[in-house]
Structure 1
Amino acid sequence: MYWLIAVMTLGIAGLIITGVIMEMQPAKVSRPWFKPTIGINLLVFVVAQAALIFMGANEVMAATEVAEMGGEISIGLGLGIIGVGIPTALSTIGAGIAVGPIGAASLAVLAEKPEIFGRTLIYLGLAEGIAIYGLVMSILLLDKI
């Protein structure tokens, strides 16, 4: 299983190095072998990840000692734990949707009027607060489980 993790790590490192090379020297990227090499690297990564999932699932299912050590988790408790994570997930998505246009608009306004930098930070902080509210709700719900 460690060899799969090594293959995946090398695949990610290869993609990162390729991105850096393409960014630094775009004129040299026109080699005909470069794009198929990226595709093969990505394919090796995806296949290794799928194999890791299947092999890892077999190892987890085979480990009966771990299941005997911990307490039983019922379906209700499992659904409750999922329900605790939902406010954080949705509020984080909402904050991301809010911060994108606000950040773009703040940069556009700062190019024309740099003196209103503090105001733009307040607007960005309000948008980020949405994610914090979701996290607080999840913590409060986690206390109820």
Structure 2
Amino acid sequence: MKTTKVAKKEEVTRDWFLVDADNKVLGRMATEIANILRGKKKPIYTPSVDTGDFVVVVNAEKIQLTGNKLADKMYYSHSGFPGGIKSIAAGKLIEKKPEDLIRKAVKGMLPKNKLARHMLKKLKVYAGPAHPHEAQQPKTLEI
């Protein structure tokens, strides 16, 4: 009788991938990154175990949004106090914190559970072309 192999946390080997966000569309890139963080491209993929790899994204400030989303797409946050809602347009978010734009897009594509927080910790986003993860020898990933 054949049985399905279930991955264990100790058996998972993690690779490092480097993604250049220069002139990439945000949503299309975020879906690929989310799949890598979850480990869906691995044969050992198990939904209840974090089997994903590390992803380093560089040039976040050069990300592209289609249509009129730079002006129209809004990101909201709330302080928890009455009247404490804040909103920021995607265009202003790219100017202030381009890393957050990619992080929020990928976070929305991950499952809504405790495992997603562990997956999101494996995402490293940098505004410019430099990153401190050269020692891990990340493989360049074309998206």
TM-score (norm 1): 0.20
Q: Which has the higher strand share?
A: 2
Structure label with greater radius of gyration:
1
TM-score (norm 2): 0.20
